[in-house]
Structure 1
Amino acid sequence: MPILNRQAVAVVVGHPLRFVLQCVRGFRANQGLLLAGAVAYYSLLSIVPLLMLVVVALSHVIDPAELLDTIAHYLEWLVPGQSRAIVTEVAHFLEHRDLVGWFLVLTMLFFSSLAFSVLESAMCVIFIHRAAIRKRHYLASAILPYCYILCLGVGALIVTLVAGSLQVIGAESVRLFGVDWSLQGLSGALLYMLGLSGEVLLLSSIYMVMPVGRLSWQHALIGGITATILWEIARHVLVWYFSTLSQVNVVYGSMTTAIVVMFSLEIGATLLLFGAQVIAEYEKVVHGTPDVVTQLTAPRQEAR
């Protein structure tokens, strides 16, 4: 089978601006900003308990300082400028992990799963053309968030080990033509590529698992790459804004961290759902949905 549907690709490539406008119209029709606000709110409630669970579990096999440093580095991608504040709270909790009981663990598991549950509901709205045909069993929806938490823990373990190896490489140097060449720049580039690749894979996995029904990995990858590119642009803009123009600390005072994290999560959730909308619109083109294909191709046919 071809990796992508040739006719659908031809339609999208032939009318890229119209396809983007179609995605924006579909996103607005699905109340995408409202859905993103709900996802961002529950993500704010989930992020700290989720990090606490991951750190407490992995601290038995990885040095806690190295683990927290790696999490802080990549958490900066999600909440620019505020990762250290979140990691500080997680580190404080880690110092008292001996006091963690089963009730607290269950409570953190519940709050950690909230964002995934709301995200699944938001995906159902965007992929309504699938949900109308096939329903997901309620037990699968209940177990899915916890399976994702487990996968995130395994991913954090792998990323920490690889990042530690790359940092060791960065401390080395190569002697060539009588000159010592430091590998620090190479290590930094590899760390960035590791984070970027992990971001694409994480988003693509969300698009494959969260919506009802089966989604090919090619379509999921389209959404993952789209959301990653948009988030990388937004992330650099946020870093520049908060470091130069923003006066949020003057306006909100002690609430600055919560406000900035919420704002970053709102933008991230919006781009995440927009990536899902891109997949949904592309699926409609692949399946030959009349209204979508007509809107994309009608102007050219009229010109003929």
Structure 2
Amino acid sequence: MHILSKTDHQLIFHPLDFTLTVLRNFGRNQGLMLAGAVAYYALLSLLPLITLSVLGLSHWVDQAELLATVQRYLEWLVPSQAAAVLSDVSGFLDNGVSIGVFLLATMLFFSSLTFSILQSAMAKIFAHRHATKKRHALVVALLPYSLVLLAGVALFAITVLSVAIQSLSQDYLYVFGAELPLQRLSGPAFYGLGLATEILILAFFYIVLPVGRTRVRHALLGAAVIAAIWEVIRHVLVWYFATLSKASVVYGSLTTAVVVLFSIELAATLLLLGAQVISEYEQLESRLGDAGGAG
């Protein structure tokens, strides 16, 4: 029994060929342009989505805990700008329910556009599947709103876990008579929770958004690779904006919006690039005749 498939063997010994194929087809599919469109509408729906999520979930979880959780993990999406974004969210929250209907309409409209463009981009990237069975129109219409609802559920779950981790960090662990403070483990625990959530969300997108079947192994592998790349880029962005960036001089009051849009576009580009990697992997499996390849 071979541990590595023919496809894995090809990737290990000819990684440059595969990488160039991915980049070439990503450009042919206008990945950067599509990522820009996704980022634009995602930016317009970001504040309403966060505000409504905090307003809704504050009935079950303390609002301060929610905001702390959002700020902690928003740094993963918009490095160095989470505090600025949440200051705007706080302004919305001060107005309470009076702007709830407007926020809901804005979030639903721009979120639906964001996920509609994502679905179109995925269809273009996975065109090799030649999916004959199309999704029902009702499924296509409800999918964006289902993903938004899922985002709210995920925020609730992460907040509960974060509160639990924070509570445990006040305790001590006794090992062979030695007293070890659990506070030292809270940092790695928060980081691990964020990284695991990022990988699972990416994998979920790769499974749900494209028409046709995406194998879970492919989705997790693509998500893990893209999450690792984003971690490097995220830390570089934090360092750059903290030390070298002159964005505030060039853009003035628009700095936060420009930097957030730039960060989201980078994240959207990687999301679509990960889909392209999975697509090329599937096609390579098909060419090499590997069992279990996507058809």
TM-score normalized by structure 1? 0.88
Percent of aligned positions with the same letter in both sequences?
Answer: 50
1:11 Cα deviation after fit: 2.0
Q: Cα offset for 1:112?
A: 2.6
Structure 1 segments (4+ residues) deviating >6 Å: none
1:47 aligns with 2:46: yes
In the alignment, which residue of structure 2 is the partner of 1:206? Answer: 205
Q: Is the 8 A contact 1:124 1:131 kept in 2?
A: no
Aligned residue in 2 for 1:88 = 87
Does residue 163 (structure 1) correspond to residue 139 (structure 2)? The answer is no
- 1:295 aligns with none
Residues 214-266 of structure 1 deviation map (CA, whole Å, 9 limit, x = unaligned): 21111111211121011111101101111111111111111110010011011
Tell me what 1:189 maps to: 188
Partner of 1:112 in structure 2? 111
* 2:293 matched residue in structure 1: none
Q: Is the 8 A contact 2:77 2:264 kept in 1?
A: yes
Per-residue CA distance 1:149-202 (angstroms, 9 max, x = gap):
111111111100001111122233346677653322211101100000000000
User: Matched residues in 1 for 2:281 and 2:189: separation?
Assistant: 32
- Over residues 50-75 of structure 1, what are the superposed CA-to-partner deviations in whole Å (9 max), with x where a residue is unaligned? 11221121111111110011001000
Identify the residue that residue 273 of structure 2 maps to in structure 1: 274
Instruction: Answer with 197-206 or 52-61: which moved more.
Output: 52-61
Q: What's the counterpart of residue 35 of structure 1?
A: 34
1:65 is matched with which residue?
64
Counterpart Cα distance in 1 of 2:66 and 2:130 = 39
Q: Provide the TM-score with structure 2 as the length reference.
A: 0.91
- CA distance in 2: counterparts of 1:133 and 1:252, whole angstroms: 48
Counterpart CA distance in 1 for 2:175 and 2:132 is 63
1:241 aligned partner, one-letter code: Y
Report how far residue 139 of structure 1 moved.
2.0
1:211 aligns to what SS in structure 2?
A: coil
Look up the SS of the partner of 2:231 in the other structure.
Answer: helix
Aligned residue identity for 2:141: A
Distance 2:80 2:174 in 1: 37
Maintained 8 Å contact 2:131/2:212: no
User: In the TM superposition, what is the alpha-carbon distance from 1:267 to its structure 2 partner?
Assistant: 0.8
Match of 2:134 in 1: 135
Do 1:52 and 1:94's aligned partners in 2 also have CA atoms closer than 8 Å? yes
1:232 is aligned to 2:263: no
> What letter is aligned with 2:203?
S
Change (3 A) 1:177 1:285: closer
